[in-house]
Chains A and B, each alone.
Chain A
Amino acid sequence: MRARFAALATLLLASCYYGAPDSVVNGALVATQYASGVSWDAYTTFSVDPKVAVLDNTGSVTTECTVDGTNLVTTITQQMQARGYTAVDWGNSVTGPATDIQIKMTSYLGSVDYYYSGYYCGWYPYYYCYPSWTYAGSYSFGTLVLDMGDLKNATSGGKLPLIWHSASYGVLASYYTGCANTSTINWGRVQQSIVQAFDQSPYIQSAP
């Protein structure tokens, strides 16, 4: 009798279980935001830094490194050119060429701090905040961030105004083992997220 009751209770509890499936928790999520008041048709040229800055927080100490993102530059360039902008090669310089727009890539690994609204937005001029969203659980995968800076309207010695920002969550999946080993990145997944970021930002459009 007890065994039957236990089995029934287990069944009832199992039927009440709910939660996001793995496909959602570990799925790629692409978020984009733009700065208010930007005249996208005022820009004509852009360049993309081929170096991806990596902040690896999977261990006890945050480490930083740089990986080559040339293949991502190709994807970004295709998207920007399709919107009427002219690409300029970044070259070997650190600061890049004097184009209207500069795009930089950053990867965050293992850290959920990036998601806490009011923290990252507080000190960094991202417009990317989720005031009504909250951290929901374990998340150990990487995020690729694209920042689009307005070099055309930047003031000397000041911060580079950000006019667009995208974050692709979960695209640097678990097989990306951080700065120690960047050879297993699924670049196709990352590139797909970049295309999605531009697809959902139709306002990025140069003057015809």
Chain B
Amino acid sequence: MAKLSKDEKIIQIVGVSKVFDETVAVDNIDLYVRKGEFITFLGPSGCGKTTTLRMIAGFDIPTSGKILLNGKDITNLPPNKRPVNTVFQRYALFPHYNIYDNIAFGLKLKKIPVTYVNDKGETYTKMQKLTRKEIDEKVKNALSVVDLEGFEKRSVSTLSGGQQQRVAIARAIVNEPEILLLDEPLGALDLKMRKEMQIELKEMHRKLGITFIYVTHDQEEALTMSDTIVVMKDGKIQQIGTPTSIYNEPANAFVADFIGDSNIFNGTMVAPRTVRFCNKNFDCLDDFEKNEKVDVVVRPEDIRMTYPEDGMLKGKVISVVFKGVHYEITVKVRKTEVIVQSTESREMGDTIGLVIQPDGIHIMKKEFTINKYDGYITKKNTVVFGDGEFECDVTKLYPGSHLDEEGYLITANGEQIDLTDVDVNVEVEFKDIEISDNAEEGGTQGHIVSIIYKGDHYQVIVRTEENEEDFVLDTEDLWNENDFVGVKIAPENIRLTLKQENNK
């Protein structure tokens, strides 16, 4: 591993935002990069990772904020004035030059100080271009670093994707930059090639000893190669840490979900170091305020299978997939699916017990501003969530759509969509939920489990019986704990969005 001098910050990003046509790509981020480290910006597409890289390269200028290189402000410096070189996503090798000229492009433009001694013995320095021989030498070296000796005269179009990738790396490192920026450099390669290049890049980083800033959406790539990972989402940094700390101590549910496989449950703190999820209480190591709703993350490899009577949870095996080293077993516990990874297999339909140790339970603060549920649309265009069924406005799922007489949704461009059984995310604000003494009124019913006085109103949590779904609401009326109430939500206050495939 390259030597990390702990204090030397080569890049500092201070309060940087980037706005494109009113879209915020990067939202007020603060970050530093240590000299010599391999740092990876990781996140789904559109998270701002590439924009951040481009601002370091100088292709994009921040809308606000500062970027410092070795303590010097480079925010508005053009790319050619920065000691930084980039390996582009699609290589960007010049098609009108051969391999030699591509790699020598930067060298031919470079001027270096050369010191002379004149007749009187005085020394003086002159900025001078590299000689043809020096350039030849450097190009040859760069080609040998990327294992492409003898490719000088080849044209770009005769090279395979992997070879072009290597030339792109050679073209960047030949300039001996202080920082090498890599923008999803392995994205276009096949899996085997990608694995090989990952190892080679890591090796190159070790040999060259320069700072690598790497952008990828591939969490495995990030975990394999990086010294530091910066997880980003929606232009904001979610977490910065070493691969181990990010995997073991994800800062929030998004990071947990994005890095590796994980089960994420809705939980509630019921006592000190005790969290309730899947209708059971579990001991845990993290402590939060009592009654706080939390995200509970459990890695599939941290769940042990046992006999039904010995388990903390009991469920039925609904799928078994062999993954090479382990089996991935999906267990249905009441209505929740729990994913378990184990070297042992189980039969489909087996009833088994599950054990989770306290150190396998990671508790995260919920960004707790709104009620969120998983739901689905019924034939009658109502939505089922939180153990109940509610009237809703399904046309909000598609802007400009309307319903025809038969209840099919017609989109703005005239497409007919059958919404039956479509999975949706449901969001309801605290203030939009009403409770009623008449339990039969409203879409679902439950007991009041918590009443917290918040100065000018009460925050009430209603918990349903069947799946212990919680409804958090703000009300000015005083209720009693354990009251059995009906939950009412006006159709226009039920916010629906389509569930999107999680692109990992």
Q: Real complex partners, A and B?
A: no
